[in-house]
């Protein structure tokens, strides 16, 4: 019997370590082996425990606490799982997985990420062996070209083209770099892959290094991912011990060493030349291009940079053929894409689907729809560099061109869902706050322009918006997009442009009527008591921290708007629903 506990960051945060301890205390001395696995993507159901019987039957237990873990242990010992049926995943929740096509995530939540033997048992490192002993560099490039694999870090640039450019560059010293500096708010695809299946990244990078002629591979990962770093270090050590990393790999003439660089978490280091600057020990600021990294990259040597998800697809493509990958997706966007589905959605987690599905299918079929069955309002695609797509465009096909046509971008795969209670002006301000702080400051348009936009948006949500502010924002957006040096500045206006385009009425309501239609902007809210519903129970008056509510027992109360700090505590405690915010 095989017992596995989901120990990705989401599982650990939900209490998986305590669950693991209970299972070990009750089962280890009875000969049962309990191992860890990574995140299978169903983050809303963590902690998750998988028990596979000797006959292959899988019992997947979800939302497991310490008490539930004890019940599971008893069922394992007795071999009777009737008493734990209520703890198992429902068919409805399981449809989250059955509707996906997993390539980059193929091993996540299935194998032990700290065991190279389990990776090898799933066919791991066979693609690397195939490449080294039966394929030339050009053969690999052609297979990747046939696959149509585009960079999954956001730009969507053809992977084969970048590899070929680095291969053709002159020089004996070349570098292969993995960009694992995942910085978008709400994005956790790369972290999950490294935590759950680090060897797929290593194998993909080794194939890339062989193809361009690099003898050193570097993973640039943000320091805020400590678990990912620990597991990746262990995986590199294991691969080195078995001859997959280092000198004369698998007895061949191909050699490649690995190392990890922990970045300080600057969002701008997601831009490849800023990442290179950081790798070299300088402040992370973008370089002028050309020359491109393929010609002059790390230490001014030919270099290639792809992100984690891109590399995680490579071994599968080599093993199954480029045509198998390109058979999925659309004419312009091939293969699958991983998304981090978050926000006001019932089933949040990691989703991998073939390009060509619609936003509606991902959010409502896979994600289960909106929490508390509220009205869907918009989805933010591409993080701070992306844009907000409204409800009327829910049937937009997911591919690079179709998403770009809406004003959003694919990005690295963040998908933040918003419901009717989300203020779109506030959402634009949230992302502008982020990009303004993360700007490296090298170019004036980004450094000053994003700050000015942030100030205008702040003024609007605080009720001090002025006539002409919308037009001024649009003018600033155009100037920043045209004048910024790198992708951070060039895409920073996207959230503002798309919210103005699709939700202009909300901007106008904030500026002209001093009202927030979503009732989210505190400065524009007023709390009122309906005298016909108020029974004078005095609970709200006792709860108010500033004594802004007055009235006698069993008589309607009133709120002093000048004193009210709009904390909402009165509304939350009112049993007759007499208090409303407007």
Tens of pLDDT, residue by residue over 139-193, are: 999 999 999 999 887 778 899 999 999 999 998 899 999 999 988 888 899 999 9
The pLDDT, as a whole number, for residue 270 is: 87
Q: What is the Cα–Cα distance from 76 to 78, expressed in whole angstroms? A: 6
Is the pLDDT at 103 greater than 90, yes or no?
A: yes
Closest alpha carbon to 338 in 116, 494, 181, 154:
154
440 and 302 belong to one structural domain: no
The pLDDT, as a whole number, for residue 173 is: 95
The pLDDT, as a whole number, for residue 487 is: 86
187 and 254 belong to one structural domain: yes
**Cα torsion angle, 537, 542, 544, 550, sign:** positive
387 and 438 belong to one structural domain: no
- What are the start-end ranges of the H helices in 107-180? 116-121, 126-134, 137-147, 159-168
Q: What is the Cα–Cα distance from 425 to 446, expressed in whole angstroms? A: 20
Closest alpha carbon to 421 in 343, 530, 367:
343
Residues 6+ apart with CB under 8 A from 446: 439, 440, 480, 484, 485, 486, 488, 489, 492
**Number of domains within the chain:** 5
Closest alpha carbon to 191 in 100, 104, 316, 258:
104
Q: Which long-range contacts (CB under 8 A, 24 or more apart) does 484-487 make?
A: 484/443, 484/445, 484/446, 484/449, 485/286, 485/288, 485/442, 485/443, 485/445, 485/446, 486/268, 486/271, 486/273, 486/274, 486/286, 486/443, 486/446, 487/154, 487/155, 487/271, 487/385
Q: What is the Cα–Cα distance from 176 to 298, expressed in whole angstroms? A: 9
Q: Which of 326, 348, 372 marks a domain boundary? A: 326
Q: Average model confidence (pLDDT) for the chain?
A: 95
The pLDDT, as a whole number, for residue 214 is: 97
CATH number, domain with residue 370: 3.10.20.600
Average pLDDT over residues 548-558: 94
Average pLDDT over residues 455-475: 96
The pLDDT, as a whole number, for residue 582 is: 87
The β-bridge relationship of strands 303-307 and 387-390 is unpaired
Give me the domain span that covers residue 289.
116-326
The pLDDT, as a whole number, for residue 187 is: 86
Give a yes or no: residue 182 inside a domain: yes
202 and 245 belong to one structural domain: yes
366 and 229 belong to one structural domain: no
Average pLDDT over residues 1-30: 96
Using pLDDT thresholds of 50, 70 and 90, give the confidence band for residue 325. very high
156 and 255 belong to one structural domain: yes
SS3 assignment, position 549: strand
CATH number, domain with residue 558: 3.30.70.20
Q: What is the Cα–Cα distance from 76 to 2, expressed in whole angstroms? A: 10
The pLDDT, as a whole number, for residue 49 is: 98
Categorise residue 412: left if φ over 0, alpha if ψ from -120 to 50, beta otherwise. alpha
Q: What is the Cα–Cα distance from 277 to 269, expressed in whole angstroms? A: 9
Could you tell me how far CA 254 lies from the centroid of its own chain?
Answer: 34
Q: What is the Cα–Cα distance from 278 to 525, expressed in whole angstroms? A: 45
Count the neighbouring beta carbons within 10 Å of the beta carbon of residue 375.
9
Q: Which of 326, 359, 387 marks a domain boundary? A: 326
163 and 264 belong to one structural domain: yes
Give a yes or no: residue 472 inside a domain: yes
Residues 6+ apart with CB under 8 A from 330: 355, 356, 397, 399
Give a yes or no: residue 111 inside a domain: no
SS3 assignment, position 337: strand
Is the pLDDT at 532 greater than 80, yes or no?
A: yes
Q: What is the Cα–Cα distance from 544 to 546, expressed in whole angstroms? A: 6
Give a yes or no: residue 300 inside a domain: yes
Count the neighbouring beta carbons within 10 Å of the beta carbon of residue 556.
15
**Cα torsion angle, 362, 155, 178, 210, sign:** positive
- Percent of the chain past pLDDT 70, that is, above it, reads 100
Q: Which of 326, 347, 375 marks a domain boundary? A: 326
Tell me the pLDDT tens digit for each residue of 267-293. 899 889 999 999 999 999 999 889 999
Q: What angle do CA 209, 212, 218 make, to 5 degrees?
A: 35
Give a yes or no: residue 441 inside a domain: yes
Tell me the pLDDT tens digit for each residue of 383-430. 888 899 999 999 999 999 999 999 998 888 889 999 999 999 999 999
The pLDDT, as a whole number, for residue 16 is: 97
CATH number, domain with residue 121: 3.40.50.11540
Tell me the pLDDT tens digit for each residue of 193-207. 999 999 999 999 999
Using pLDDT thresholds of 50, 70 and 90, give the confidence band for residue 382. confident
Peptide bond into 47 cis (omega under 30): yes
343 and 306 belong to one structural domain: no
Q: What does pTM read for this prediction?
A: 0.93
97-110: b (≥16 Cβ within 10 Å) or e: beebebbbbbbbbb
CATH number, domain with residue 84: 3.40.30.10
307 and 232 belong to one structural domain: yes
Q: What is the Cα–Cα distance from 12 to 18, expressed in whole angstroms? A: 9
Average pLDDT over residues 64-77: 96
502 and 547 belong to one structural domain: no
- Half-sphere exposure of residue 177, counting CA atoms within 13 Å on the CB side? 33
447 and 358 belong to one structural domain: no
Is the pLDDT at 508 greater than 80, yes or no?
A: yes
The pLDDT, as a whole number, for residue 471 is: 97
The pLDDT, as a whole number, for residue 294 is: 96
């Amino acid at each position: 019997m095989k017992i596995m506990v989901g120990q990705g960051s989401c599982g650990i945060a939900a209490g998986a370590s305590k669950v693991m301890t209970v299972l070990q205390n009750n089962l280890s001395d009875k000969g049962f082996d309990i191992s860890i696995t990574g995140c299978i993507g169903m983050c809303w159901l963590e902690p998750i425990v998988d028990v596979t019987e000797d006959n292959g039957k899988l019992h997947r237990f979800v939302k497991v606490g310490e008490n539930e873990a004890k019940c599971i242990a008893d069922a394992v010992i007795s071999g009777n799982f009737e008493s734990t049926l209520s703890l198992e995943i429902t068919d409805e929740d399981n449809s989250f997985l059955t509707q996906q096509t997993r390539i980059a995530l193929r091993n996540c939540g299935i194998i032990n990420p700290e065991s190279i033997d389990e990776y090898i048992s799933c066919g791991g490192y066979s693609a690397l062996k195939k490449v080294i002993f039966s394929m030339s560099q050009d053969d690999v490039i052609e297979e990747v070209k046939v696959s149509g694999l585009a960079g999954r870090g956001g730009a969507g640039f053809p992977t084969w083209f970048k590899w070929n450019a680095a291969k053709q560059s002159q020089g004996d010293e070349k570098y292969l770099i993995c960009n694992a500096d995942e910085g978008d708010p709400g994005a956790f695809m790369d972290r999950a892959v490294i935590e759950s299946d680090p060897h797929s990244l290593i194998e993909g990078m080794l194939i890339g290094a062989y193809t361009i002629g690099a003898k050193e591979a570097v993973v640039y990962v943000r320091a805020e991912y400590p678990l990912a770093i620990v597991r990746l270090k262990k995986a590199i050590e294991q691969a080195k011990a078995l001859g997959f990393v280092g000198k004369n790999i698998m007895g061949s003439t191909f050699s490649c060493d690995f190392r990890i660089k922990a970045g300080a978490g600057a969002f701008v280091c997601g831009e490849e030349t800023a990442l290179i600057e950081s790798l070299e020990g300088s402040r992370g600021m973008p370089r002028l291009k050309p020359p491109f990294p393929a010609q002059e990259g790390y230490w001014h040597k030919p270099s290639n940079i792809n992100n984690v998800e891109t590399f995680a697809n490579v071994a599968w493509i080599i093993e199954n053929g480029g045509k198998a990958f390109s058979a999925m997706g659309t004419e312009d966007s091939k293969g699958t894409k991983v998304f981090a589905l978050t926000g006001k959605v019932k089933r949040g987690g990691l989703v991998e689907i073939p390009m060509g599905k619609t936003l509606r299918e991902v959010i409502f079929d896979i994600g289960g729809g909106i929490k508390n069955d509220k009205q869907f309002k918009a989805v933010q695609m591409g993080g701070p560099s992306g844009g907000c797509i409204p409800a009327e465009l829910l049937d937009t096909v997911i591919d690079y061109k179709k998403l770009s046509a809406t004003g959003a971008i694919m990005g690295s795969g963040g998908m933040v869902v918003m419901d009717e209670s989300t203020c779109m002006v506030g959402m634009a301000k949230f992302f502008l706050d982020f990009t303004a702080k993360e700007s490296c400051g090298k170019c004036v348009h980004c450094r000053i322009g994003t700050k000015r936009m942030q100030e205008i948006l702040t003024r609007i949500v605080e009720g001090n918006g002025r006539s002409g502010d919308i037009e001024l924002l649009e003018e600033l957006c155009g100037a920043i997009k045209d004048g910024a040096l790198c992708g951070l500045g060039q895409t920073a206006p996207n959230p503002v442009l798309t919210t103005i385009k699709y939700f202009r009425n909300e901007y106008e309501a904030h500026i002209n009527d001093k009202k927030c239609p979503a009732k989210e902007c505190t400065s524009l809210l007023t709390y009122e008591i309906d005298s016909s519903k108020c029974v004078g129970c005095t609970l709200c008056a006792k709860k108010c921290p500033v004594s802004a509510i007055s009235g006698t027992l069993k008589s309607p109360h009133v709120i002093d708007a000048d004193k009210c700090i709009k904390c909402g505590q009165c509304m939350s405690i009112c049993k007759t629903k007499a208090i409303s915010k407007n």
